[in-house]
Amino acid sequence: MATPHNQAEKGMIAKTVLMPGDPLRAKYVAEHYLENVTCFNEVRGMLGYTGTYEGHRVSVMGSGMGMPSIGIYSYELYHFYDVDSIIRIGSAGSLQPDVNLMDIVIGQGACTDSRYAYQYELPGTFAPIADFGLLEEAVKAARDLGANVKVGNVLSGDVFYNNYTKVNEKWASMGVLCIDMESAGLYMNAAAAHKKALTILTISDHLFKEGQLTPEQRQTGFGQMMEIALKTAAAEDGH
């Protein structure tokens, strides 16, 4: 039952999927953290793998950048492959002075400047939030690992190179911790499908300070985030 974007057959994908934006990060997770790995997707280079972590079956698959991309892949996972939970593992730009490079941010909620929610024809503004059970497990795992973790609102923006130069200051003034480009779309897809979602982010750059991670660090240097996500996935599989 392959889709236009995923060549996997039903049953090849675990109930919980980790989703980095970069498919090469998915490959890295599979090769360095999972056992008994099989590749279930190579369509459009969006690599997907299934294996085991501490005896628990887990999949990892790239999502691409932005809500249109993660929207497609997460929709298909939820609706066509019986996936129950998706945990996004990504990078983000900090908006706050106390959220620094390599800190972990767990997205309790996801603000957005996108019109992604228009499709649901709601008579108001939808507030995309994480699944509390996944959030609770991730915070516990982060603390057990000694990670410098913050929990709160993130912003999922549609524009990376924004012509509106004051936009970051506006969101920062509302206490938003950092910016990614995917979480709100993932959370909305999960809500509409009555499934679970969580975003765990590593700060790769700061919007108001000097310094940023290299592309290589973004791809392979997010060990704490990956372990938090994997331990959360294992706990979810054990329920």
Catalytic machinery residues: 205
Q: Hey, is 127 helix, strand or coil?
A: coil
In the chain, the amino acid numbered 84 is D
Whether residue 109 contacts residue 177, with contact meaning beta carbons closer than 8 Å, is answered with no
Beta carbons within 10 angstroms of residue 213's beta carbon = 17
Whether residue 24 contacts residue 47, with contact meaning beta carbons closer than 8 Å, is answered with yes
Beta carbons within 10 angstroms of residue 101's beta carbon = 15
Q: What does each C-alpha distance from 183 to 2, 113, 214 come to in angstroms?
A: 25, 12, 22
- Using CA atoms, how far apart are residues 164 and 153, in angstroms rounded to an integer? 21
Assigned token pair, 61: 């698959």
Q: What share of the chain is helix, strand, coil (3-state, %, to 5)?
A: 35, 30, 35
Whether residue 160 contacts residue 114, with contact meaning beta carbons closer than 8 Å, is answered with no
